[in-house]
Structure 1
């Protein structure tokens, strides 16, 4: 019996797929109306919060070590993520029915897409070229685990470091997931 080798997705593949999903969700939220817009926005908030938390725990520390100028590159990405958490929390508080929501969402989307482009060109490309493929596949598995215990809302005051996410993330995530369940039941 022949054994078939299954190609496991590596962390860079996973992140690129998520960046595309985020971009698509921005477009869907921008064109939706009413309850559909609200639901799509909640999906976007959840995806961004979980994605950034897992990146901060798994990807940025690896990039900080692997890139020749890792400290500078990762510190810039973390500043952008901190700004994004504040902007996303403000959008969430504003609500999709607010007259300024669409304009603020467009500005936010542009900054998130620019941030993702920097990650793809400055971190992901370098990680793909310089880390062993097996290490990148293992990082994908750990990334998936980190996503399962990540908060589903932005928490700008919680910090952007791997340590902050590991310490504060699980209790905040539990609270977020209970709040999500209550909201979804209503």
Structure 2
């Protein structure tokens, strides 16, 4: 993926990759489907964790009505996490997998579209290039140490990271994000 210096460009590029992976999971079979699905799960986990740690807090503080904008995005993320959880342990070759995957796909696409229309559009209106660049650095720092799977019921990065075995990741995430935001 190309290095993006603007947080909106970075996250939209990830959305493009997520959309491509959604198509590839549907179009492939066997080991290739498993690999694409694992890649999708990992990307969704790091993407959402970084948004929860960096983008949503900034939006809450700086967007007029930001609390409501973020609340709606978090609810959408929760739907996708539940759909992904329903897929956990399902054989990618089973007919049930594709049915459950269709629900995940719908949730993820709706969330990405809403995020781009609402939260990202507002970010571009209120933040200058320097702030957008700082947020991109913070997102990359958070992604570098994010969990590898999203966890339903973890509507904040702290909760998401806390369910992983290594509790020190929480402190490292915060330190990396704060350093990147300077």
Normalised-by-shorter TM-score class: 0.7 to 0.9
**Gap change, CA 1:167 and 1:102, over 3 Å in 2:** closer
**In 1, Cα distance between equivalents of 2:167 and 2:85:** 15
Q: Which of 115, 121, 125 is matched with 1:119 structurally?
A: 115
Map 1:24-173 to 2 at 5 A: 24-157=20-153, 159-165=154-160, 167-168=162-163, 171=166
Answer yes or no: is the 8 Å Cα contact 2:151–2:160 preserved in 1: no
Long gaps (5+) in structure 2: 170-182
Alpha-carbon displacement from aligned partner over 1:118-175 (angstroms, at most 9, x marks no partner): 1101110110111121011011111101001101112224x2124434655682797x
**Gap change, CA 1:170 and 1:76, over 3 Å in 2:** farther
Write out the 4+ residue segments of structure 1 that deviate beyond 3 Å after TM superposition. Answer: 165-170
Residue 10 of structure 2: aligned partner: 14
3-state SS of 1:48 partner? helix
Answer yes or no: is the 8 Å Cα contact 1:57–1:166 preserved in 2: no
**In 2, Cα distance between equivalents of 1:42 and 1:73:** 30
**Gap change, CA 1:101 and 1:123, over 3 Å in 2:** same
Answer yes or no: is the 8 Å Cα contact 2:7–2:136 preserved in 1: yes
Long gaps (5+) in structure 1: 1-6, 175-186
Instruction: Give TM-score scaled by structure 2 length.
Output: 0.84
Residue 4 of structure 1: aligned partner: none
Instruction: Give TM-score scaled by structure 1 length.
Output: 0.82
Query: Superposition RMSD on alpha carbons, in Å?
Result: 2.1
3-state SS of 2:95 partner? coil
Answer yes or no: is the 8 Å Cα contact 2:79–2:107 preserved in 1: no
Q: Which of the pair has more CA radius of gyration?
A: 1
Residue 183 of structure 1: aligned partner: none
Q: How far did residue 65 of structure 1 move?
A: 1.4
Equivalenced residue count is: 167
